[in-house]
Structure 1
Amino acid sequence: MKTTAVYFSPTGNTKKSVDAMARALDADYQAVDLTVAQGEDGQEFSVQMQFSGEDFVIFGMPVYGGRLPALAAKRLSGLYGEQTPCVLVVTYGNRHYDDALVELQDLCEAQGFVVKGAAALVGRHTYGEIQMDRPDTADLEADAAFVRKAVSGDGLHAPIPGNRPYQKQPMEKGQFAPLTSNACTGCGLCRKSCPAGAIGPDFQVDADRCISCFRCIRICPAGAKNMDTEGYRSF
C-alpha cells in the first residue's frame, strides 16, 4: 500500500496533521501540496493524478467560514481514485467546522475515493492568537493513532456530521486583505507563495483575489505584511 498525503495548507497547520498521519503509515509517503498552483505567469494550473485501489490517500483541508476554501475544493478536481481508500481531515480554529467535513466527503467520493475515516482537528486559528500551540505533540500522536485505526477498519460506522445542502456559501474571497508596510524588502517570497496569486509585482495584495489565509503574514521575513487596521482589530 502506497500512502499519499494531499493537502491545502496556507499556514501549515493542516500539513502538520496530515503529515503525522501519513508518516504513521508509510515513512516514504508521497506529498501532494495543492496550496500554490500557479505558474510564474500567475496562471492557475491543474494537478492531475490517478490513484488505484492499492493506494491510500489522506486528504487535508482547512475550514474557512464553515466550508472548504473554494480555491482548495477546485484543486481537488484533478485527483481521481478507483475505489481508493482514504481518510478525510479538516482543521479549524476551535469555533466549528460546520459542513466542511461532509463537503470534503462529497468531493472525494465523487472522484472515486472510498472514505475509511474522517476527522475534524483543532489547529491555530488564522485570525488572532487563538490555539497558538495547536496541533501540539499530543495532537499529532492522536492523529497517528487515528489513521492506524482507520486504515485497519472496515469504513465509517456513523454518518459524517454536516448538512446537505450546505448551510453556508463557500468563501470565494476573504474578508481581510493584508497590508504591506515600508519594511518590505521586495524579496518576492509572499508573491510566489500566495495560494490565490493575489500579490502583484509591487507586492501589494489584491483584495478582490485574496482569500485571507494570512500565509504572507506568517512567512514574511521582514514582518512587512500585517493587518494593522481598525476593522481587523475590532473583529
Structure 2
Amino acid sequence: MNIGLIYFSATNNTETIGKIIKHEIEAIESSVKVFLINITPYSTRNNHLNLAKCEKFIFGFPVYGWRVPNVVREWLKTLEGKGRECAMFFTYGGINSGVVHYDTYKILNENDFKVLSSAEFIASHTYNLGGWNILENRPNEEDFEIARQYSRSILKQFQESNPILFQIKPHEYSDKTLERIENNPKRMVKIPRWTAECDVCGVCNNLCPTNAIDAENQIIKDEKCIRCLSCVFNCPESVLKVDDLTRLYKMALKVEHLTEKEINNRKSKIF
C-alpha cells in the first residue's frame, strides 16, 4: 500500500507530526510506504504533482484563523479523490481550532475523497516568534504518543475492506464571519522585515508559500503575505524579524474567552 502524506508546514510543527505518523505506520507494516509530500512552497503547489501512485492519503495542515490557510483550501479543490480513502490531522497553537475539521472534510468530500478520520495536535504558536509565550515546548512526548496512536488507527482503517466514514456536524458560522476571523492576522500583524544585511541566500524566497518575497530587493508583498512567518522561522541568518506581537496576546485571549491555564491544559486528540 502506498500512502501519500500531504502537508503544509511553515514552521515545522505539522511536518514533525507527519514524520511521526510516517515512521509509526512503516514500523508496524513493512509493506506500506508513506510518501511525505510537502506542499508548503509556492512552487510545489503550482507544479503538477503526480499522485497516481498513492492509493490512500493523509492530509496534515496548520490552523490559521479557524481554518487551514486559504492557499491550501484552493489547492485542495484542484485534486481528484476518485473515491480514494483519506485521513486528516491539524496542528494549532492552543487558541482555537475553529471549524477546521468540518471545513476541510467538506472540501475533500466534495472532491470525491472518502474521509475516515481526523485529529488535532497542540503545537507552539507561530506568534512566539513575535514575543508570545504559548506552548513553547509543544508538541511534546504526550502529543507524539497521540500521533502514534492515531497512526495505528489510520492504518487499521486503511486495511479494512469497508471502513466507517468520518462524520461531523456542519458549523453555523457565516462565510462573512469566517472571512473576518481569517483576515485578522493580516489586519493586525505587519509583514516581516529585514533588520540587517543578508547574503541573499534565497531560503525565504524558496520556502514562501505565496511567492510574496523578493529577497534581492528586500521586498515582501503585503497583499500576498499570509503572516505564516516561514521566512522568519527559516532565515539562516536570523535577519528577518516580525514586530513585537505581545500586545495582541491579551486581545486574543479576550476575543476567544480563554485563560492561560486553559491554553496550557490543551490536549491533542483523535476524533
Partner SS state of residue 17, structure 1 = helix
Partner SS state of residue 24, structure 2 = helix
Contact 2:4 2:51 (C-alpha < 8 Å) held by counterparts: no
Alignment of 1:208 onto 2:223: yes
Q: Which has the higher helix share?
A: 2
- Residue 227 of structure 1 aligns with an amino acid whose one-letter code is V
Output the TM-score relative to the length of structure 2: 0.75
Contact 2:42 2:207 (C-alpha < 8 Å) held by counterparts: no
- Which portions of structure 1, spanning 4 or more consecutive aligned residues, are displaced by more than 6 angstroms? none
Contact 1:194 1:216 (C-alpha < 8 Å) held by counterparts: yes
Distance in 1, matches of 2:139 and 2:49, equals 30
Which residues of 2 match residues 116-127 of structure 1 at below 5 A?
A: 116-127=116-127
Alignment of 1:34 onto 2:39: yes
Alignment of 1:87 onto 2:87: yes
Deviation digits for residues 125-177 of structure 1, max 9, x if unmatched?
11123112211233122112113123324335652674465541174683331
Q: CA deviation at 1:100?
A: 1.2
Output the TM-score relative to the length of structure 1: 0.86
Percentage of identical aligned residues? 24
Alignment of 1:185 onto 2:195: no
Distance in 2, matches of 1:18 and 1:155, equals 23
Quickly say closer, same or farther: Cα 1:15–1:65, change in 2 above 3 A: same
Equivalent position of 1:17 in the other structure: 17
Contact 1:34 1:75 (C-alpha < 8 Å) held by counterparts: no
Distance in 2, matches of 1:158 and 1:107, equals 14
Equivalent position of 1:223 in the other structure: 238
The counterpart of 1:234, out of the listed 240, 247, 251, is: 247
Alignment of 1:198 onto 2:212: yes
Contact 2:42 2:208 (C-alpha < 8 Å) held by counterparts: no
Distance in 1, matches of 2:166 and 2:64, equals 27
Q: CA deviation at 1:65?
A: 0.9
Which residues of 2 match residues 53-64 of structure 1 at below 5 A?
A: 55-64=55-64
- Residue 168 of structure 2 aligns with an amino acid whose one-letter code is P
Which residues of 2 match residues 3-152 of structure 1 at below 5 A?
A: 3-26=3-26, 28-38=33-43, 45-51=46-52, 55-128=55-128, 129-152=133-156
Distance in 2, matches of 1:137 and 1:163, equals 35
Distance in 2, matches of 1:58 and 1:33, equals 12
Distance in 2, matches of 1:177 and 1:37, equals 18
- Residue 70 of structure 2 aligns with an amino acid whose one-letter code is A
Partner SS state of residue 130, structure 1 = coil
- Residue 103 of structure 1 aligns with an amino acid whose one-letter code is D
Equivalent position of 2:254 in the other structure: none
Quickly say closer, same or farther: Cα 1:85–1:51, change in 2 above 3 A: farther
Matched residues, number: 228
Partner SS state of residue 43, structure 2 = coil
Contact 1:116 1:151 (C-alpha < 8 Å) held by counterparts: no
Contact 1:60 1:90 (C-alpha < 8 Å) held by counterparts: yes
Equivalent position of 2:168 in the other structure: 159
Contact 2:5 2:59 (C-alpha < 8 Å) held by counterparts: yes
- Residue 178 of structure 2 aligns with an amino acid whose one-letter code is K
Q: CA RMSD in A?
A: 2.5
Distance in 1, matches of 2:52 and 2:26, equals 16
Contact 1:5 1:19 (C-alpha < 8 Å) held by counterparts: no
Partner SS state of residue 127, structure 2 = coil
Choose 30-39 or 188-197, whichever is displaced more.
Answer: 30-39
**Which blocks of at least 5 consecutive residues in structure 1 are unaligned?**
none
